[in-house]
Amino acid sequence: MAKKQSIRSRNFRRSDPAYDLDSSTAIENETKLSVKEKVAKEIANIALRSGGSESNGISKKKKNKKQTSKKAKDKLAAALKAQAREERLDTKISKSLQKQEKLKARKQGDE
């Protein structure tokens, strides 16, 4: 889906003499440029506005926000895994201690 242009950017392009259709210099410039040059210029403008080809149309601010939220989720998941590991270790230790105590009690009871 195409991104809706803001009024501010539209007004900026309208005030630019290169985009001004009423200006005679803009018409002269258009006649001098070939179709390939016009297309290349428009593609360059779009790429500049979108933040480059590597961003795939996602604005830099939005991309950074997604990355930070993803990093936060990863950190939270890692912390939860570590906590679960710790709990399992604690239960193993407590079970082994209980088993040792039972064995000691049996040995004392036998003697």
Average pLDDT in the 77-99 region? Answer: 95
Determine if the pTM surpasses 0.75. no
Based on the structure, what is the number of domains in the chain? 2
Could you give the percent of the chain with pLDDT greater than 90?
A: 29
Specify whether 49 is located in the same domain as 2. yes
Specify whether 31 is located in the same domain as 82. no
pLDDT in tens, 41-64: 888 877 777 655 555 556 677 778
The rounded Cα 55 to chain-centroid distance in angstroms is: 10
- Which domain range does residue 47 map to? 1-57
The rounded Cα 44 to chain-centroid distance in angstroms is: 24
Could you give the percent of the chain with pLDDT greater than 70?
A: 60
The residues near 48 (Cβ < 8 Å, ≥ 6 apart) are none
Q: Cβ distance 38 to 30 under 8 Å?
A: yes
pLDDT at residue 101 in the model: 94
Specify whether 66 is located in the same domain as 81. yes
Specify whether 51 is located in the same domain as 1. yes
Which range has the worst mean pLDDT, 23-27, 75-79, 96-100? 23-27
Specify whether 52 is located in the same domain as 78. no
**Domain-ending residue, one of 16, 39, 57:** 57
**Domain-ending residue, one of 14, 39, 57:** 57
Specify whether 37 is located in the same domain as 80. no
